[in-house]
Amino acid sequence: MSNFLAIATASAGLRQIIDPALQVDVPGTTVTIGRPPAIPESDVGGELSKVNIYLYRLTPNATWRNADLPTYSSDGSALRQRPQTALDLHYLLSFYGDQSQLVPERLMGSVARTLHGHPVLTQTDIADTIAANPVLGGSDLADQIEQVKLTPDALSLEEMSKLWTVFQQVAYTTSVVYHGTVILIESAATPLRPLPVEARNLYVLPSGQPLIDRVVVQTAAGEPLDAIEPSVTLLIQGTRLRGDVTRVRIGSTVITPLVADTGNTQIKVNLDPLLPADLRAGVQPLQIIHELMLGTPAVAHTGTESNVIPLVIHPLIIAVSSTTVVGPRVVTVTVTTDPVVGKDQRAVLMLNVETDPASSTFVSTRRVADTDILDFDVGDFPAGTYEVHLQIDGAMSLSKDGGGAYVTPTVVIT
């Protein structure tokens, strides 16, 4: 990077590039840096030929302006790296001379040809500039990672006229605009040095991300089904599923595969609710994680992760009952479910009323803790026997009888 002398060095470097060519093309030409003069200098023979360089504008460089972020630590207490500002330079080059001899046009042509053939401030240019200007002795512009490039900029007639109106009592003269990019000015502050590395370890391992194609339920008969309950065995099918240490993550639950020798194309996972106690019904993301055993002694490190498969876990209705309070009449339906329902999950009870389905849906009130017992206030619901369905975060309930067959539970409301 460069220090605070970079802008001045770039301006002087621009003069260093064009001055030799001007002395050949229009001998006696002077190159000045500063505000355009109000009255051109003259001698006894008429107007002197002159080129004036004026840095009229600085703008942030869009590419480099955020390259140093983050500069400070998250709490702002420690400097992590030196702040830098990235700037673009906008120059106004004005040409003076005897118009009858077309001096301004000749000067402009010489500058345009020179900068087109030499559009970059090289390290040699900067070294020559510093040698010719003692005040720039501490400049380190030559050390910045980007070289300063000079390109012509196109201003409309309106933009050019607005630019010249800021120069009071200065008549317009033949001019062009050049764009210099980029200047990287770095702070002199010393950042906090990181702690030294105690030990360096390099491990070369074959890469291979696991890919899940399908997740189904493995039944006792060996046939896969799509109804996923909280107490079944999942069969995960895909490619490159096995790693040094293979884990399966469902929601926030991490499970070890049930069978260790299922091969590289399928993995079995037991969803016994006693094992993943925090497993919840609803739509849960499923992902395979490969951990790497590295070092001596071996320590598990997070390796690659598979694609994510949405897994719909259906809740099971274990029991359902109703309580009726009279005067005024209020009916409460209580449902025991597996797995436990999270306190922030949405639980919906549905009673089959064919004449008015909209009146048979009830949302559980907010719970203060996770629970497997849900109470639904159904108000003055008509007496009768009703089929019961439960929906947890969009996943519809399943129920089984003692023989393992799916049934629809009922509740008697008195």
Please name each of the domains of the chain with its CATH number. 6-186 (no CATH), 211-313 (2.60.40), 316-413 (2.60.40)
* pLDDT at position 106: 95
For every one of its 414 residues, what pLDDT tens digit does the chain have, with 9 covering 90 and above?
689 999 999 999 999 999 999 999 999 999 999 999 876 554 434 457 999 999 999 999 999 988 877 777 777 777 877 888 999 999 999 999 988 899 999 999 999 999 999 999 999 999 999 999 999 999 999 999 899 999 999 999 999 999 998 888 888 899 999 999 999 998 877 777 777 887 777 766 666 788 999 888 876 655 555 566 666 778 888 888 887 788 888 888 888 876 555 568 888 887 765 445 677 888 888 898 888 777 666 666 777 888 998 888 888 888 888 888 877 888 889 998 888 888 888 899 988 765 555 558 888 877 888 888 898 988 888 888 888 888 988 888 876 655 556 677 888 888
- Give tens-digit pLDDT for 196-239: 887 777 766 666 788 999 888 876 655 555 566 666 778 888 88
**Tokens encoding 116:** 């087109």
pTM for this prediction? 0.49
Annotate 280-310 with b (16+ C-beta within 10 A) or e (fewer): bbbebebbbbbbbeeeeeeeeeebbebeebe
Closest CA to 336 of 366, 369, 376: 376
Q: How far apart are CA 376 and CA 354, in angstroms?
A: 20
Q: What is the chain's mean pLDDT, rounded?
A: 83
User: Distances from the Cα of 378 to the Cαs of 322, 349, 375, 396, in angstroms?
Assistant: 10, 9, 9, 19
User: Distances from the Cα of 234 to the Cαs of 41, 226, 231, 413, in angstroms?
Assistant: 91, 10, 9, 37
Closest CA to 304 of 240, 253, 215, 255: 240
Closest CA to 376 of 388, 385, 393, 368: 388
- Give tens-digit pLDDT for 27-83: 999 999 999 987 655 443 445 799 999 999 999 999 998 887 777 777 777 787 788
Cα angle 22-26-28, degrees, rounded to a multiple of 5? 90
Q: How far apart are CA 95 and CA 47, in angstroms?
A: 11
| Residue type for position 371 | T
* pLDDT at position 47: 59
